[in-house]
Amino acid sequence: MYLSSVMMLGTRRRKKKIYWYGIYAERVAALWLQLKGYHIAERRFETYFGEIDIIARRGNVIAIVEVKARPTIEEAMEAVKQPSRKRIDKAANVFLARQSDAKKLRLRYDLIAVSPWKLPRHIESFFQPEN
């Protein structure tokens, strides 16, 4: 009995640590985008379909940014699978529908990979939504 409760406590701590590292990675990514001249329109934008990590704007381009904290860029890219892409696209359409100048805007789906001891990697147009 004691061993299983200790193991559960370790699992909770690990999940909490991962959660907070993800929050940290999103902050790093938002700062990186600001340094590149983007305005952060939303962070952790939640809809019925799911959450978008960062929505950034530069001119008429709306960057829908998925942030992944992984040891390598390859692992970050592999972590955004097709179901996630569909969820992100649906949530992005909710955001776009709420914009008064939606007809002028162009959506782009980006990825920012945050890796330990490295500068963030911003991959523009990481994916295109399937219609």
Q: Does residue 8 have a pLDDT over 80?
A: no
In the chain, the domains with their CATH numbers are 2-127 (3.40.1350.10)
Are the beta carbons of 108 and 64 closer than 8 angstroms? yes
Q: Does residue 12 have a pLDDT over 70?
A: yes
Q: Does residue 52 have a pLDDT over 90?
A: yes
- Residues 39 and 57: their CA atoms lie apart, in Å, by 5
Tens of pLDDT, residue by residue over 56-93, are 999 999 999 999 999 999 999 999 999 999 999 999 99
- Residues 7 and 123: their CA atoms lie apart, in Å, by 38
- What percentage of the chain carries pLDDT values higher than 90? 79
Tell me the pTM: 0.87
Q: Residue 9's pLDDT is what? A: 55
Tens of pLDDT, residue by residue over 105-128, are 999 999 999 999 999 999 999 999
Are the beta carbons of 68 and 111 closer than 8 angstroms? yes
Confidence of residue 1 (pLDDT cuts 50, 70, 90): very low
